[in-house]
Amino acid sequence: MRRPFIAGNWKMNLNRAEAVALAEALKEKAAGVDYADIAVCPPFVYLDAVAGVLKGSNVKVGAQDCYFAGNGAFTGEVSVEMLKDIGCEYVILGHSERRHILGESNELTNKKLLAALAGGLKVILCVGEMLSEREANQTDDINAEQFFGSLAGVTAEQMKDVTIAYEPVWAIGTGKTASPEQAEEVHAFLRKLLEYRFGKETADTVRIQYGGSMKPANAKDLLGQADIDGGLIGGAALQADSFMGIIECGK
């Protein structure tokens, strides 16, 4: 039985006071949660403040991206070491908004992922098809391509620090959730890819989160599927009560 992992992706939302207040509320409300792993991923500029609030609590902190180089002339980028320095434990990589708005490739995602793992960060690797790809029956191909491309050169041992997030692009921020059956179908497929690439033990232990308009009202059915081990939550993670409502569905 895999322990549920619920992570909040705050994206480019909230101001400093709101980010700190949300962290404080979660710290208090999640104090008794012993059945799931929890993390929040604020914007870079609030990471330090949020990590300060959540230090020693059972809500861990992650970044929404990182760069692969250690240091140097990379204007605007943030290194793995910098994230570790402020108490960050996780990093989201390959999010569809980075792939499709910022044009990030599997190759770049892979470089970042290898650097993050080597530097001691745990990675939430996102994969997911667009609506046009689903309609063209390319769902499996796209997810496989992102999976293999982003995980090139990764060992089974390193997969202990990797969570996969299946995020169908057509369900993100749209209010359109994949049905539990639709999501489970892709999760089971990703689990097969894990087994093919890393072996059965890794496939049995790596967690696969679902992301895309997950909310308290649909979380129980989604999390009830055999291969759905948690959620990567955007909109519903911006309020303590709705985020907690999803976490409670992981019981």
Q: Any idea which residues carry the catalytic annotation?
A: 95, 167
Is residue 234 a contact residue for ligand PGA (CB under 6 A)? yes
- What tokens appear for 79 in the block? 């290194």
Go through the chain and tell me how many residues it has. Answer: 251
DSSP 148-196: HHHTTT--TTGGGGEEEEE--GGGTTSS-PPPHHHHHHHHHHHHHHHHH
Q: Which stretch binds ligand PGA (CB under 6 A): 30-38, 74-82, 184-192, 234-242?
A: 234-242
Give whole-number Cα distances, 177 to 181, 183, 201, in Å: 11, 9, 30
Q: How far is the CB of 76 from ligand PGA (least distance, A)?
A: 22
Contact 164, 186 (CB under 8 A): no
Closest CA to 50 of 63, 37, 38: 63
Closest CB to ligand PGA among residues 7, 203: 7
Is residue 233 a contact residue for ligand PGA (CB under 6 A)? yes
Is residue 211 a contact residue for ligand PGA (CB under 6 A)? yes
Contacts of 1 (CB under 8 A, 6+ apart): none
| Rounded distance between C-alpha atoms, residue 234 and residue 242, angstroms | 11
Size of the site for ligand PGA (CB under 6 A): 13
Is residue 9 a contact residue for ligand PGA (CB under 6 A)? yes
Closest CB to ligand PGA among residues 129, 167: 167
Q: How far is the CB of 214 from ligand PGA (least distance, A)?
A: 6
Closest CB to ligand PGA among residues 194, 219: 219
Candidate list 4, 62, 212, 250; residue touching ligand PGA; CB under 6 A: 212
Residues that bind ligand PGA (CB under 6 A): 9, 167, 172-173, 211-214, 232-236
